[in-house]
Amino acid sequence: MIKPHGSDALNPLFVYDSDKHHALLEEAKNLPSIIVSSATAANAVMLGGGYFNPLTGYMNKADTLSVAENMHTASGLFWPTPVLNMLENVDAIKDAKRVALLDPNVDGNPVVAIQQIDAIEELSDDELSLVAEKVYGTTDSEHPGVAAFMAQGKFIVSGSIEVLSFSYFQTDFPDTFRTAVEIRNEIKEHGWNKIVAFQTRNPMHRAHEELCRMAMDAIEADGVLIHMLLGKLKPGDIPAPVRDAAIRKMVEVYFPPNTVMVTGYGFDMLYAGPREAVLHAVFRQNCGCTHFIIGRDHAGVGDYYGAFDAQTIFDDMPDGSLDIEIFRADHTAYSKKLNKVVMMRDVPDHTKEDFVLLSGTKVREMLGKGIAPPAEFSRPEVAKILMDYYQTL
């Protein structure tokens, strides 16, 4: 297991001490409070769980612009995307030193964290556009990540935080949500040394399943961390509970015992392509993973990114930026010639007709009609769970 990013030990910001936790909740009753965006609340959850190690809170303007421009904070810490508390209006907190951050995603808007306010700064329209262009590669408002970023407001509130809640993730996904601390502890319990991580926001089909096996075999890994995003997605993506059920069924039936950890984390998808791929690598290093699978169009959306931009971005990073190693995957598909799933780059003699290839649209149409995709594409047990879901729409 490797060291966390930027420090020798993980520094989760969740307040586990019960007396201090209670005292902070009492303090929050007398503090100015703001209902933050879903992205800001998710950032608090990630800070609380140690995924954003070694950050201690939300970034200021100088760090935001520096990270956007060159993937380093003003002090030189390697970091790929700004971690922000952004607001449209700061009148309620402009004279405050501390503020209670309220969760927009839980009924009653409970306190998710208390923030020390170091500065309240405004981003100009040009600076907002610069951050969007650098982080997302576009300022197009049709891009879901850009739209969510631009909707949060122009003011950034920086400062350290003490996290008091893991939002809805711990209650809605008790068997799946795990902090980076918990994942590190579980890896130790397994006795694993080499661990490869697989990121997903979708159910896993045969190609994904085999990709995990290929990576495990190639690096001689002790185990694989299947790590699913549990936060907000764009419309049309499959809900987390359905993905969770489908992935667990696949692992239960088709992987040997004690070789896979199925877990999830509480973050809203950015759809930032290459920059988000690097952020995902930071998460997995903080979890203790030694390797991370990055395939075609990782964390992408639409046609905003090239097929392998999320891999080549790692070539441009200075040596030593991260300790985790990247397993670069090509598009995987079932070969009719070889009767197995292969990476397309490994079979240059194949033509398109030699593969079982189905578009996402075609698969959704089949599932919605109660038709299982071919067994070469999707395991029947997984297809059944997805068919049941699509027929409720």
Looking up residue 35, the CATH number of its domain turns out to be 3.10.400.10
**Domain of 27, in residue numbers:** 18-170
Q: Is residue 1 part of a domain?
A: no
| 165 shares its domain with 227 | no
Q: Is residue 13 part of a domain?
A: no
- At which residue do the structure tokens 């964290």 appear? 113
What is the full per-residue pLDDT of the chain (393 aa) written as tens digits?
Answer: 899 999 999 999 999 999 999 999 999 999 999 999 999 999 999 999 999 999 999 999 999 999 999 999 999 999 999 999 999 999 999 899 999 999 999 999 999 999 999 999 999 999 999 999 999 999 999 999 999 999 999 999 999 999 999 999 999 999 999 999 999 999 999 999 999 999 998 888 898 999 999 999 999 999 999 999 998 877 777 888 899 999 999 999 999 999 999 999 999 999 999 999 999 999 999 999 999 999 988 899 999 999 999 999 999 999 999 999 999 998 888 999 999 999 999 999 999 999 988 777 788 888 888 999 998 889 999 999 999 998 888
Q: Is residue 6 part of a domain?
A: no
| 190 shares its domain with 158 | no
User: Which one of 170, 196, 227 terminates a domain?
Assistant: 170
- At which residue do the structure tokens 């089909």 appear? 205
Q: Is residue 4 part of a domain?
A: no
Q: Is residue 355 part of a domain?
A: yes
Number of domains in the chain: 2
| 23 shares its domain with 111 | yes
| 80 shares its domain with 65 | yes
In Å, how far are 87, 269, 278, 319, 364 from 128, measured between CA atoms?
13, 19, 21, 29, 36
DSSP codes, 100-132? EEEPTTSTT--EEEEEE--EEEE--HHHHHHHH
| Identified catalytic residue from 201, 213, 248, 328 | 201
Beta-carbon contacts of residue 352 (< 8 Å; ≥ 6 apart): none
Which is it for strands 223-229 and 195-200: parallel, antiparallel or unpaired?
parallel
Q: Is 98 tagged catalytic?
A: no
| Identified catalytic residue from 11, 109, 193, 202 | 202
Q: Which residues of 216-236 are buried (b: 16+ CB within 10 A; e: fewer)?
A: beeeebbbbbbbbbbbbbeee
Q: Is 258 tagged catalytic?
A: no
Structure tokens that stand for 347 in this block: 């079979």
What's 332's domain CATH number?
3.40.50.620
pLDDT at 39: 96
pLDDT at 240: 86
| 104 shares its domain with 190 | no
Q: Is residue 72 part of a domain?
A: yes
What's the pTM value of the predicted model, to 2 decimals? Answer: 0.94
